[in-house]
Structure 1
């Protein structure tokens, strides 16, 4: 009987380990019509888009797409390239993937399905130093190109009462403290590199900047209690941030003061796309596409007929290439 139970426990342990082993993303003929969440350029002549089921799509013309070999089926939420060959993608299961061949093949640097939390953005300042951020304040740093990722906890985003609460809980119940610590921070949605300065936006009106590549952060005064999803410095040198319920704000002085912008929409605004000129775009849910030629002071609406969410985009060969919940869209740039 002991031998029988030993076999059962051994088998269950094997199954548990097997369940943690990722399955490779499958080749899907309609992958370019599925939910895609981010897109970027790898060098000047290649587009890379990522999305659900571990889909990674590549194109050299914005029209024809090839699916890459990816070792996970986890939804991928963001992709970043430091040059034409080397890039990283992050997503659900705290996944971090790397490519060294322009996105054709990918390898796993981190995969934690037991966390059940998504990473939402990734950025590198050079080939060695990078950051990955996500839900509930997840924050990972690498200093060796992603061979190792170290988790950090940034309590500068907590109120003093939250810090006091955690300190008391740590004295009383270490396990409860660790559990609470893992979920007390707001979601970190997007991180943007602006020269030597990093900006990060997230839940509960979070806007912050760092001048030491994320080792310490300076949160801005609250201007809005809802979530923000993107922040960019415009071609004229001002900051523009967008978020829930059509909220957008401009800053002419690097974060103080912020001025509300009337976008004439209540849709969630997902991302900002800059062009080589003063023209910029805001992409939103419900088919919302806004353009501005006056540095984000006013916007023109270009509603998309299908009403689908426009999630992220980039300008490529004179066209706006956008990823959405129904795949890839090519939009003629509005002058």
Structure 2
């Protein structure tokens, strides 16, 4: 099960890409993450809760933490030091984490130990999100249209390129280039697509958002895609479906969009903040938004309006999960906690 975050190339590009540079230790081989006493206070970029109620958080320098109570955290042994951006579990035991150097990690014991399935430092590109529909079938996506698929639980990962994720003009350009200049065509394949920031599993449909207003949907777990007409020209960093079946997309500079007709039309919501929004967390009783500059917003009317506040010393909140009447936050300062119904006005 996927919690809502995978840190796309943001939290201020300078902050995150500086971390990427620091992770380039030895590009020839993966190096294990260092066990750090203060790992739970370092930048964490995703968090999820397992059916067993174990919490798993991932972040910079290959840090993966787990906790049974949300208070005491243990750092797992991880075979790579790359910054990790997203974590997703298909059940209480089997999960995957993805990050820089197109790294893909797998656990079979609920996050206590991890194995490296893919490490491609030569690409110098991060994977930003990962989802699975079963223990065997999953997709990882990332910067510049990176997309990998596995049908064997990650024993092998195959790169995919979907022409239908480009607009008609770009498709025509690529097809002409394939005939006229095969070498340039091969180069363009690695850069023409936008960053794929987030995938959301909505029943039998995938919703994927990304850079420059990119929004695509799939009815067959990403084997074919439909590109939606842009309704916003800035980057989108998360998408979710409310209890009423409405789509909620969020992104740069506090932009929040609501669609009540599955993407046919969109209404921009007003949020009293221009901070970038990183994640949407949909619960039965409320919808939460997390963002940079400590952004924390709550809606109790299915996304029609939000009450805004600033938390954790104004530092970035990347994601959150509910746990025992609390919200456990993955932030720029590590793990933080809030009361689940925090609706403090600024």
TM bin, normalised by shorter chain, reads over 0.9
Q: CA deviation at 1:182?
A: 0.3
Correspondent of 2:69 among 56, 61, 67: 61
Aligned to 1:267: 275
Q: CA deviation at 1:332?
A: 0.9
Does 2:96 match 1:88?
yes
Highest Rg: 1 or 2?
1
What is the SS of the residue equivalent to 2:294?
A: coil
What is the SS of the residue equivalent to 1:306?
A: helix
Aligned to 1:51: 59
Q: Which structure 2 segments of 5+ residues have no match?
A: 1-25
Higher RCO (CA-CA < 8 Å; seq separation 6+): 2
Map 1:305-316 to 2 at 5 A.
Answer: 306-316=313-323
Correspondent of 1:205 among 201, 204, 213: 213
Aligned to 1:14: none
Aligned to 2:109: 101
Correspondent of 2:240 among 203, 219, 232: 232
What is the SS of the residue equivalent to 1:302?
A: strand
Correspondent of 1:184 among 147, 168, 192: 192
Q: CA deviation at 1:19?
A: 4.2
Aligned to 1:331: 338
Q: Distance in 1 between matches of 2:267 and 2:253?
A: 16
TM-score by length of structure 1 reads 0.92
Q: Distance in 2 between matches of 1:305 and 1:70?
A: 28
Map 1:241-256 to 2 at 5 A.
Answer: 241-256=249-264
What is the SS of the residue equivalent to 1:198?
A: strand
TM-score by length of structure 2 reads 0.89
Please list the CA deviations of residues 130-150 of structure 1 after superposition, one character each: whole Å capped at 9, or x if unmatched.
Answer: 000000000111111111111
Q: CA deviation at 1:317?
A: 1.4
What is the SS of the residue equivalent to 1:20?
A: coil
Does 2:160 match 1:137?
no
Single out whichever of 171-180 and 230-239 deviates more from structure 2: 171-180
Aligned to 1:196: 204
What is the SS of the residue equivalent to 1:70?
A: coil
Q: CA deviation at 1:37?
A: 0.4
C-alpha distance 163-20 of structure 1, shift in aligned 2 (>3 A): same
Deviating runs (4+, > 4 A) in structure 1? none
Correspondent of 2:294 among 268, 274, 287: 287
Please list the CA deviations of residues 245-275 of structure 1 after superposition, one character each: whole Å capped at 9, or x if unmatched.
Answer: 1111111121122111111211100001122
Please list the CA deviations of residues 35-60 of structure 1 after superposition, one character each: whole Å capped at 9, or x if unmatched.
Answer: 11000012232000000110000001
Q: CA deviation at 1:236?
A: 2.1
What is the SS of the residue equivalent to 1:53?
A: helix
Please list the CA deviations of residues 79-108 of structure 1 after superposition, one character each: whole Å capped at 9, or x if unmatched.
Answer: 000111110000000001000011011001
Q: Distance in 2 between matches of 1:66 and 1:325?
A: 18
CA RMSD of aligned residues (A): 1.2
Correspondent of 2:181 among 173, 179, 187: 173
Q: Which structure 1 segments of 5+ residues have no match?
A: 1-17
